[in-house]
A = this chain, B = another copy of it.
Amino acid sequence: MTQRYGAGIWHFATYVDRYATDGYGEPRTILDAIALAGQVPDLSVVDLNYPFFGGDFSNEQIGAELEKAGLDVIGITPEIYTRVFAKGSFTNPDPGVRRLAHELCTEAAGVVRHFGADYVKLWPGQDGWDYPFQVDHGALWKNSLDGVGQLAQENPDLKFVIEYKPREPRVHMSFDSVARTLLGIEKIGLPNVGILLDFGHALFGGESPADSAQLAIDYGRLFGMDVNDNLRGWDDDMIAGSVHPIELFEFFHVLRRNGWEGVWQLDQFPFREDSVQAATWAIDFLKRVERGLDRLDMDALAQAQARHDAVAAGRIAQEALFDLD
């Protein structure tokens, strides 16, 4: 089977932050972004923000542009982290805003059905807290689970994936780690809720992404994943493989060992880079990872791991990834 590659469509947008409030480039519509994505060799699927940014576009318009670009839709990401949700989506103190979040996600579910996508991606980045004493932690967590649970129950035909992250934009995000998210998913107790594991979020959270993947797989909840890189202290969304190639390789090794066959996606924010070049470099590296996995001596590695032999295991991995022989 040929490995499929994907990307969040925001990879091809431009960005603002609290300093460059005029943006790191001219604003782009989602149609512009799709066209750029189409220029990346080997990219075949995208995850789309909803509402579609940059204009009032119909599903059909988006569909036409995707077709032109040779792209399919893997997921829809409702934007439950904009101004109205500044104090939370599922956990907002205002029940009216919680309802808005529910409605937006429900609409997104419709878009998933329209495009035959795999899932609604939930990234409740504003759900959490900033200050000591700010929230009742029990109530907040309950709202987090109720919000996701209600969606999953009302849409049993669809999958909902939660993308956890330690923090940003909140100082602490409710779904902060792989284990916390699995704990929540088990509590919700529905089959159609899973995890979208972001390599960089795991790294940022002090996890070993390979371990996080194994854990999510062991619970049958690894529904999607994406990769990027960072300096371990923040969600830098840098280009995959540019800083931590070894741990990225271990992450993919765990996926293959478990027969996990989903799309390899990018979640990068090339603030100051050409987005097509940034995606292309990342995918070139991921193809190197693929070849590395083919070369990896799985038996020797398993034996080294059975002894917890870091040197032997590390050499085997380096040889496979870097063509050392």
Residues of A within 8 A of B (CB): 15-25, 81-83, 85-88, 93, 125-126, 129-139, 141, 166-169, 171-172, 176-177, 179-180, 182-183, 186, 205-208, 210-211, 214-215, 218, 231-234, 236, 238-239, 241-247, 249-250, 253-254, 269, 271-274, 277-278, 281, 285, 288, 301-302, 304-311, 313-318, 321-324
Contact = CB atoms under 8 A, between A and B. Distances in A.
Contacts of A132: 208, 210, 242-243, 246-247, 249-250, 314, 317
Q: Which of A19, A183, A234 has the most CB of B within 10 A?
A: A19
A16 B21 contact: yes
Contacts of A134: 305, 308-310, 313-314
Contacts of A288: 322, 324
A253 B133 CA distance: 9
A242 B82 contact: no
B273 A310 contact: yes
Q: Is the interface of A mostly helix, strand, loop or mixed?
A: loop
B21 A82 contact: yes
Given A82-B22, A315-B281, A211 B137 contact: yes
A138 to B, nearest CB: 5
A228 to B, nearest CB: 12
A39 to B, nearest CB: 14
Nearest to A292: B322
A135 B313 CA distance: 8
7 contacts: A19-B82, A19-B126, A21-B82, A23-B83, A132-B210, A134-B305, A179-B182
B133 A308 contact: no
B246 A83 contact: no
Given A20-B82, A20-B86, A208-B172, A236 B317 contact: no
Nearest to A278: B311
Nearest to A125: B19
